[in-house]
Amino acid sequence: MSMNEAGVCGYMAQHNLLDQAFKLKNDFIIPDYAFVETGRRLVPNDQTASTDGIVVNVWIGPQGTVSPLHFDNYDNLFAQVAGYKYFCLYSPSEAPNLYPYPPDSHMPNTSQVDMESVDLNRYPCFAKASSVECVVEPGDLLYIPPKWWHFVRSHSYSASISMWF
């Protein structure tokens, strides 16, 4: 991946590449796990017409790419295709310690805490939050339950596929 004249390198995030490059669908199979009925189907049907009821997003980017601490409303199977990514996950019960933006904001599912430089003077309760950490590598499949907070950082050039169901 190369940088532009301004020294900025792009990151393709949360993109349904399979709808644009439909031949790629032949190289990827949605795991059976994604078809398990959880009883909490929250994915809008209009987003899943071409993928059997699953929202499939592709994530491609360079080392150091970050997804800030946030949660998704869906069950998520995260498949690491190439490279390595670090995950830090928090249970929904930790939300009061994670300082989410207000419910009426544009980012109510995102934490105000900068995970790369935590300011405990501004966010003192963050120190109480208990997390689980892991690094995913090519071939790994990580399940993230709905409303589980997660921060993600690429340790290398990376390609990933997430499946929301």
Closest to 95 in 3D by CA, of 69, 132, 119, 116: 69
pLDDT of residue 2: 47
Q: Which residues contact 137 (CB under 8 A, 6 or more apart)?
A: 80, 84
pLDDT of amino acid 49:
54
Looking at residue 145, what is its pLDDT? 95
Q: How far apart are CA 6 and CA 19, in angstroms?
A: 30
Instruction: Answer yes or no: are the C-beta atoms of 89 and 150 closer than 8 Å.
Output: yes
- pTM score, whole prediction: 0.85
* 67 sits in which H/E element: strand 66-70
* Contact criterion met (CB below 8 Å) for 1 and 10: yes
Contact 78, 30 (CB under 8 A): no
Question: Using one digit for the tens of pLDDT, what is the confidence trace for 104-125?
Answer: 999 999 999 999 999 999 999 9
Which two three-digit tokens encode residue 64?
A: 């150091």
- Per DSSP, the three-state class of 83 is coil
| Regions of the chain with pLDDT less than 70 | 1-19, 21-22, 41-42, 44-51
**Phi, psi values for residue 27, rounded to 5°:** -95, 5
